[in-house]
Amino acid sequence: MKIIPAIDIINGQCVRLTQGDYEQKKVYNNNPLEVALEFEGAGIKYLHVVDLDGAKAGSIQNFTIIEKLVKETQLRIDVGGGIKTEGDIRRLLNLGVAQVNLGSIAAKNPELVNEWMDLFGPDKIIISADVRNEKIALHGWQEQSMLSIYDFLQLFPSKLLHVTCTDIATDGMLSGPNLSLYQKIQGRFPDASITASGGVSSIKDLDALLKLKVDGVIIGKAIYENKISLTELSKYVN
What residue spans define the domains of the chain? 2-234
Residue 151 appears among annotated catalytic residues: no
pLDDT band at residue 122 under the 50/70/90 scheme: very high
| Res. 46: pLDDT tops 70 | yes
- 54-68 pLDDT, tens digit per residue, is 988 889 999 999 999
At the second CATH level, the architecture of 2-234 is Alpha-Beta Barrel (3.20)
The mean pLDDT value for 131-160 works out to: 87
Could you tell me the CA-to-CA distances from 95 to 65, 78, 176 in Å, in that order?
12, 12, 35
21 DSSP 8-state letter? E
| Res. 17: pLDDT tops 80 | yes
- pLDDT at position 22 is 83
pTM, to two decimals: 0.94
Q: How many helices (H) and strands (E) would you count in the chain?
A: 11, 12
Residue 78 appears among annotated catalytic residues: no
Check 8, 51, 53, 88 and give the catalytic one: 8
- 210-221 pLDDT, tens digit per residue, is 999 999 999 999
Rounded CA-CA distance 83/58 in Å is: 7
Rounded CA-CA distance 236/229 in Å is: 12
The mean pLDDT value for 29-56 works out to: 96
Check 53, 78, 130, 205 and give the catalytic one: 130
- pLDDT at position 196 is 97
The DSSP line for 95-148 is: HT-SEEEE-HHHHH-HHHHHHHHHHH-GGGEEEEEEEETTEEEETTTTEEEEEE
Rounded CA-CA distance 221/238 in Å is: 22
The mean pLDDT value for 6-29 works out to: 89
- pLDDT at position 172 is 74
Burial of residue 3 (number of CB atoms within 10 Å: 0-12, 13-18, 19+)? buried
